[in-house]
Amino acid sequence: MSVLSPRNRLIAWLALAGVGLVLFFSGEYRDLGLPLGWFGSVLFIASVWFAVDAVHRLPRSDDEGTLAPGEWQAWVGLAFATALVVAMLGAAEVFRVALPIGENPDAGRAGTKVGTLFVAWLVLSHVLRQRWSGRVLADERDARIEAVACEWGRWATVACVIGIAVLLGFSETARLREFSYPFIAHLLMTTLVWGLWVEQAVIVGLYWRDRRA
């Protein structure tokens, strides 16, 4: 018989996932030469997998019944989108080097981090959908919320693209030399992730407002 209940195991694995995420962003510890970024990514992925197992073992509660599947997915999406925004902003400096991304090892490591987060997000979202098999996952309210959130996300992306265009268009020639092509590509990818973050945040906010009403 396990000492920890399914709910406590879930909390423990989520806490370990948080530790892994902190190490994931820390990179190398220069004084000791420890690959904390690699260790953090392994810990994060493993913790997500075991947290998924703990989610399967959780008994369905009244709290779960009050939250629509779309809201559960939105909370998960908001958490991962936040991590993605932080990861991409933190890695922006490594893309300022005027080298192709394939020849820049720092850029390769940054891309691995972002890819790891995307994979973990997809896995957890898939398992949550499996947990809700047999239930109605979306209705007219969910469709309305998704449409409004997509509109917000689209305008957030457009605003960022316009901002980048204005920045590049009105910068002096000397300043433009600081923006390498990989850096501009990274800015555009960050813009897409930012639009995704806004979309998830709006979905969470609209569901929360409906429950309050």
Q: How far are the Cα atoms of 7, 57, 78, 114, 127 from residue 61, in angstroms, in the given order?
A: 11, 12, 22, 33, 18
The confidence band for 162, taking pLDDT boundaries of 50, 70 and 90, is: very high
Q: Span 77-83, mean pLDDT?
A: 83
Rounded distance between C-alpha atoms, residue 104 and residue 98, angstroms: 9
Among 6-10, 15-19, 145-149, which is the least confidently predicted range?
6-10
Q: Report pLDDT for 69.
A: 75
pLDDT for residue 58 is more than 70 = no
**Is the model's pTM score more than 0.95?**
no
Phi, psi of 158 (to 5 degrees): -60, -45
Rounded distance between C-alpha atoms, residue 197 and residue 81, angstroms: 5
pLDDT for residue 64 is more than 60 = no
pLDDT in tens, 102-126: 777 777 777 777 777 777 778 777 7
